[in-house]
Amino acid sequence: MGVSNKTPEFLKKFPLGKVPAFEGADGFTLFESSAITYYAATHKDSTQLLGKNKKEAALIHQWIALADNEFSPIAAAWLYPIFGYYPFDHKSTEKAKADAKKVLSVLDAHLLHHTFFVGETVTLADISLVSALVGFYKTVFSPEFRASFKNVTRWFLTCVNQPHFKTVYGEVALATAMKVAKPAEEKPASTPASPKTAKAEKKEKAPSAKKEKPKKEADEEEEESYADEKPKGKNPLDLLPPSTFVLDAWKRMYSNNDTRPTAVDWFWANAFGSLCVLGKDNANEIAGYFVFRGDGIPAEVSDSPDFESFNFTKVDTSDKKVQEDFNCYMAWDEVIDGKKFADGKVFK
């Protein structure tokens, strides 16, 4: 793709230069996958792939259209960044996941009372939907994700384990975990120019209209301004020994992945704050967790105007109960400490 489909010979037959494309032995050409599959299905007069009557034929086209129109954009946003086709975008991926769940809920409800999508045997509807979903099942539909769509998974396994499907897909191994796309690497900050280079590149300033003060007066003012400046003390955090925990790496992991299980598992494997508003109107409380370097609370936090409004308690991070409570605040669960989640803010 991207080479043979851009040749003059290919473009002469398929001007859009897209795949899949079909050319028969008689020179008949087709593009668009649904048109190609329909043409292939019509080659056997006794086929039931297109339904037994007009109603079934219409229903088959309905499910084929759903496979094309619903799952194609979801795959582009969710799967393609994993495969390296598109750059990863967290918001687009999360929207794709939500859209997938919505469409899968429709399929799952239909398959509660049906073995296949139309009629009692495999039709072109099943073939098109398996084709649309196989990449998801092999890559991102983890056991936890599949648990909400058991009817769809039952149907999918029924199809892919039939001989004709195995000829195309082989043995389909379901995903054991939800794969995630690798976030784009951050570009290193540009190296500041050396004093010589900076001096050479500096443009000559236009003459100032301001009247120059006598040299002595100017020198006195300059000395006075320097005298007023107090030397800055070292930040106490700078005096702490180097940490093996890379906070920026955690921020990227938290922002670009599902909180559970990917981000929180990464956090506890390596060792940031999240505040939540809990409860109902007029009966709210703000609670959460902060991750600091060292044993104390840094001045950047204790000097905050709101600091006195909060009670800070040091916790034992090896305690499983503390870890689970921390995970709840990171994931913004619907209910935390018995109170309904209303809003939240992540500090990173």
| C-alpha–C-alpha distance, residues 26 and 49, integer Å | 24
Domain boundary among 169, 185, 214: 169
- Is 161 part of any domain? yes
**164 shares its domain with 259:** no
Domain boundary among 169, 200, 219: 169
Q: Please tell me whether the peptide bond between 192 and the residue prior to it is cis, using omega within 30 degrees of 0.
A: no
Asked if 85 contacts 66 with a C-beta cutoff of 8 angstroms, the reply is no
**157 shares its domain with 59:** yes
Least confident window among 77-81, 203-207, 322-326: 203-207
Domain boundary among 112, 138, 169: 169
**165 shares its domain with 270:** no
Question: Which pLDDT band, with edges at 50, 70 and 90, does 114 fall under?
Answer: very high
Least confident window among 76-85, 115-124, 128-137, 209-218: 209-218
Computed over every residue of the chain, the mean pLDDT equals: 79
Task: Output the domain CATH number for residue 58.
Answer: 1.20.1050.10
The pLDDT of residue 203 is 47
Asked if 153 contacts 92 with a C-beta cutoff of 8 angstroms, the reply is no
The identity of residue 315, as a single letter, is: V
Asked if 43 contacts 30 with a C-beta cutoff of 8 angstroms, the reply is no
Q: Does residue 335 register a pLDDT over 70? A: yes
- Is 240 part of any domain? no
- Give me 29's structure tokens: 């050409």
Question: Which pLDDT band, with edges at 50, 70 and 90, does 105 fall under?
Answer: very high
Asked if 348 contacts 255 with a C-beta cutoff of 8 angstroms, the reply is yes
Task: Find tokens 């509660």 and name the residue.
Answer: 112
Task: Output the domain CATH number for residue 312.
Answer: 3.30.70.1010
Sheet containing 273-280: give its strands across. 283-290, 273-280, 339-347, 335-336
Least confident window among 115-129, 250-264, 334-348: 250-264
> Where in the sequence is the domain holding 261, given as residue range(s)?
247-347
- Is 217 part of any domain? no
**164 shares its domain with 51:** yes
- Is 342 part of any domain? yes
Read off the pLDDT of residues 168-226 as tens digits, 9 standing for 90 and up: 999 999 999 999 988 766 555 454 444 444 444 444 444 444 445 555 555 555 555 54
- Is 37 part of any domain? no
Dihedrals phi, psi of 133, to nearest 5 degrees: -100, -15
| C-alpha–C-alpha distance, residues 65 and 56, integer Å | 14
- Is 223 part of any domain? no
Helix, coil or strand: residue 260: helix
**56 shares its domain with 142:** yes
- The number of domains in the chain is 2
- Is 242 part of any domain? no
The identity of residue 207, as a single letter, is: P
Asked if 331 contacts 259 with a C-beta cutoff of 8 angstroms, the reply is yes
- Is 202 part of any domain? no
